Protein backbone atom coordinates (compact mmCIF):
# COMPACT_ATOMS: atom_id res chain seq x y z
CA UNK A 1 0.00 0.00 0.00
CA UNK A 2 2.79 2.43 0.86
CA UNK A 3 4.52 1.60 -2.42
CA UNK A 4 1.43 2.59 -4.35
CA UNK A 5 1.06 5.84 -2.41
CA UNK A 6 4.68 6.70 -3.08
CA UNK A 7 4.40 6.03 -6.80
CA UNK A 8 0.97 7.58 -7.29
CA UNK A 9 1.43 10.70 -5.16
CA UNK A 10 5.11 11.53 -4.86
CA UNK A 11 6.06 11.21 -8.54
CA UNK A 12 3.18 13.30 -9.96
CA UNK A 13 3.59 15.90 -7.22
CA UNK A 14 7.32 16.17 -7.95
CA UNK A 15 6.72 16.64 -11.68
CA UNK A 16 3.91 19.15 -11.08
CA UNK A 17 6.00 21.25 -8.73
CA UNK A 18 8.98 21.17 -11.09
CA UNK A 19 7.00 22.23 -14.16
CA UNK A 20 5.22 24.99 -12.27
CA UNK A 21 8.47 26.40 -10.94
CA UNK A 22 10.09 26.24 -14.38
CA UNK A 23 7.23 28.10 -16.05
CA UNK A 24 7.06 30.76 -13.36
CA UNK A 25 10.82 31.24 -13.53
CA UNK A 26 10.82 31.48 -17.33
CA UNK A 27 7.75 33.66 -17.78
CA UNK A 28 7.46 35.61 -14.57
CA UNK A 29 4.07 36.07 -12.97
CA UNK A 30 2.26 36.41 -16.34
CA UNK A 31 2.66 32.72 -17.17
CA UNK A 32 0.61 31.56 -14.17
CA UNK A 33 -2.50 30.43 -16.09
CA UNK A 34 -0.61 28.42 -18.67
CA UNK A 35 1.71 27.03 -16.01
CA UNK A 36 -1.25 25.79 -13.97
CA UNK A 37 -2.82 24.09 -16.99
CA UNK A 38 0.46 22.50 -18.03
CA UNK A 39 1.12 21.35 -14.47
CA UNK A 40 -2.32 19.70 -14.35
CA UNK A 41 -1.66 17.92 -17.64
CA UNK A 42 1.77 16.83 -16.39
CA UNK A 43 0.20 15.52 -13.16
CA UNK A 44 -2.36 13.41 -15.03
CA UNK A 45 0.25 12.12 -17.50
CA UNK A 46 2.69 11.25 -14.71
CA UNK A 47 -0.09 9.57 -12.72
CA UNK A 48 -0.73 7.17 -15.59
CA UNK A 49 2.99 6.43 -16.03
CA UNK A 50 3.38 5.96 -12.26
CA UNK A 51 0.45 3.57 -12.06
CA UNK A 52 1.95 1.30 -14.71
CA UNK A 53 5.45 1.52 -13.23
CA UNK A 54 4.07 0.80 -9.75
CA UNK A 55 2.50 -2.39 -11.06
CA UNK A 56 5.81 -3.49 -12.56
CA UNK A 57 7.75 -2.66 -9.41
CA UNK A 58 5.21 -4.34 -7.14
CA UNK A 59 5.34 -7.51 -9.20
CA UNK A 60 9.13 -7.58 -9.05
CA UNK A 61 9.03 -6.95 -5.29
CA UNK A 62 6.57 -9.78 -4.65
CA UNK A 63 7.50 -13.19 -3.32
CA UNK A 64 7.06 -14.74 -6.75
CA UNK A 65 10.17 -12.98 -8.03
CA UNK A 66 12.51 -13.00 -5.04
CA UNK A 67 15.62 -13.21 -7.22
CA UNK A 68 15.44 -9.51 -8.14
CA UNK A 69 17.83 -7.33 -6.16
CA UNK A 70 16.91 -3.76 -5.32
CA UNK A 71 19.31 -2.37 -7.92
CA UNK A 72 18.06 -4.57 -10.76
CA UNK A 73 14.45 -3.89 -9.79
CA UNK A 74 15.08 -0.12 -9.83
CA UNK A 75 16.77 -0.31 -13.23
CA UNK A 76 13.98 -2.43 -14.69
CA UNK A 77 11.33 -0.10 -13.26
CA UNK A 78 13.23 2.88 -14.70
CA UNK A 79 13.35 1.24 -18.13
CA UNK A 80 9.63 0.50 -17.89
CA UNK A 81 8.95 4.11 -16.91
CA UNK A 82 11.00 5.33 -19.87
CA UNK A 83 9.14 3.07 -22.30
CA UNK A 84 5.72 4.07 -20.96
CA UNK A 85 6.52 7.80 -20.80
CA UNK A 86 8.11 7.86 -24.25
CA UNK A 87 5.36 5.75 -25.76
CA UNK A 88 2.53 7.81 -24.29
CA UNK A 89 4.19 11.05 -25.33
CA UNK A 90 4.68 9.72 -28.83
CA UNK A 91 1.08 8.52 -29.08
CA UNK A 92 -0.58 11.56 -27.55
CA UNK A 93 1.39 14.53 -28.84
CA UNK A 94 4.18 13.05 -30.92
CA UNK A 95 2.95 14.66 -34.11
CA UNK A 96 3.59 18.18 -32.81
CA UNK A 97 6.81 17.52 -30.89
CA UNK A 98 10.30 16.97 -32.25
CA UNK A 99 11.85 13.59 -31.50
CA UNK A 100 14.18 15.18 -28.94
CA UNK A 101 11.18 16.11 -26.77
CA UNK A 102 10.03 12.49 -26.74
CA UNK A 103 13.50 11.41 -25.64
CA UNK A 104 13.42 14.02 -22.87
CA UNK A 105 10.04 12.67 -21.68
CA UNK A 106 11.47 9.14 -21.68
CA UNK A 107 14.51 10.22 -19.66
CA UNK A 108 12.28 12.04 -17.19
CA UNK A 109 10.08 8.97 -16.81
CA UNK A 110 13.12 6.77 -16.24
CA UNK A 111 14.63 9.03 -13.59
CA UNK A 112 11.36 9.57 -11.74
CA UNK A 113 10.30 5.91 -11.70
CA UNK A 114 13.79 4.70 -10.80
CA UNK A 115 13.92 7.06 -7.82
CA UNK A 116 10.44 5.99 -6.69
CA UNK A 117 11.48 2.34 -6.90
CA UNK A 118 14.61 2.95 -4.84
CA UNK A 119 12.75 4.95 -2.20
CA UNK A 120 9.97 2.36 -1.99
CA UNK A 121 12.54 -0.41 -1.57
CA UNK A 122 14.44 1.54 1.06
CA UNK A 123 11.24 2.21 3.00
CA UNK A 124 10.31 -1.47 2.92
CA UNK A 125 13.76 -2.49 4.16
CA UNK A 126 13.56 0.01 7.04
CA UNK A 127 10.18 -1.32 8.06
CA UNK A 128 11.38 -4.93 8.09
CA UNK A 129 14.62 -4.13 9.92
CA UNK A 130 12.83 -2.33 12.76
CA UNK A 131 11.18 -5.57 13.97
CA UNK A 132 13.31 -7.37 16.59
CA UNK A 133 14.79 -10.64 15.40
CA UNK A 134 13.56 -12.68 18.38
CA UNK A 135 9.97 -11.42 18.30
pLDDT at 26: 76
Q: Where are the domains of the chain?
A: 2-124
Task: Tell me the pTM.
Answer: 0.76
C-alpha–C-alpha distance, residues 54 and 111, integer Å: 14
pLDDT at 130: 47
- pLDDT single digits (tens) 58-106: 888 876 666 778 888 889 999 999 999 999 999 988 888 898 989 988 9
How far CA 21 is from CA of 10, 17, 43, 71, in Å, comes to 16, 6, 14, 31
Amino acid sequence: MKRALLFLLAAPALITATTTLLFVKAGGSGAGGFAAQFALAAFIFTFVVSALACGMDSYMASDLTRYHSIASRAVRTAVGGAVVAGGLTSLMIGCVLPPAAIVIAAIGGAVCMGICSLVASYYGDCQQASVPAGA
